[in-house]
Amino acid sequence: MPKRSLRSQLLAQRRALGHAEWLTSSQAAQRNLLALEEYQRAECIALYAPAHNETDTAELLKNAIEAGKRVLYPAVCGSGMVFRLVEGPHSLQRGAFGILEPRAIGNDHQADHADLIVVPGVAFDLNGHRIGYGKGFYDRFLQHPGRRAHLVGLCHDFQLLDNTIPGEQHDIPMEIIVTDKRIVHIQRK
């Protein structure tokens, strides 16, 4: 199935989630991510503010701050994206596309500053491929030559597809996919 069709189908399915189902799934996925060794070792993590029933990250933010980790969130700047340090939910405001992003206070950070980057997506496959919203913000951002961060796709389990997502040369694959029901470590060939 073409990316555009998959994107439309899965966005509709995600938007149809009831609040209780979304919350239960989000909490389970966050617990799974918190259990990752890669998360435990990370001193600086990058999260995202959820939109349109994406898996929530509020517990991850709370846990990371309590653990003394630095936390970065994305901010759209023109056709690009940067990460900015946040100290809690109060550090976020509505930004591009109506999504919460950090205020423009302090330094902008690139992909080489984080140890672990939690990446949202419309769909992921078992090879680590991802479908985003089609604007390419994460793919461009993650191409930073100094990036060493572990890449973790976070989603509801129905967004993790058994079938291979059609890839493009610029796509950056995930190393780990975390859902409410499972954790998949991608084996690179």
Q: Which of the two residues, 104 and 114, has the higher pLDDT score? A: 114
Looking at residue 76, its pLDDT comes to: 83
Q: How many domains does the chain have?
A: 1
Q: Domain holding 13: CATH number?
A: 3.40.50.10420
Q: What is the pLDDT of residues 17-44, one digit of tens each?
A: 999 999 999 999 999 999 999 999 999 9
**Total-model pTM:** 0.90
Range of the domain at 164: 3-185
HEC sequence for the chain: CCHHHHHHHHHHHHHCCCHHHHHHHHHHHHHHHHCCHHHHHCCEEECCCCCCCCCCCHHHHHHHHHCCCEEEEEEEECCEEEEEEECCHHHEEECHHHCEEECCCCCEECHHHCCEEEECCCEEECCCCEECCCCCHHHHHHCCCCCCCEEEEECCHHHEECCCCCCCCCCCCCCEEECCCCEEECCCC
Mean pLDDT of 82-97: 81
pLDDT digit string, tens, across residues 114-140: 899 999 999 999 999 998 887 778 788
Q: What is the pLDDT of residue 111?
A: 64
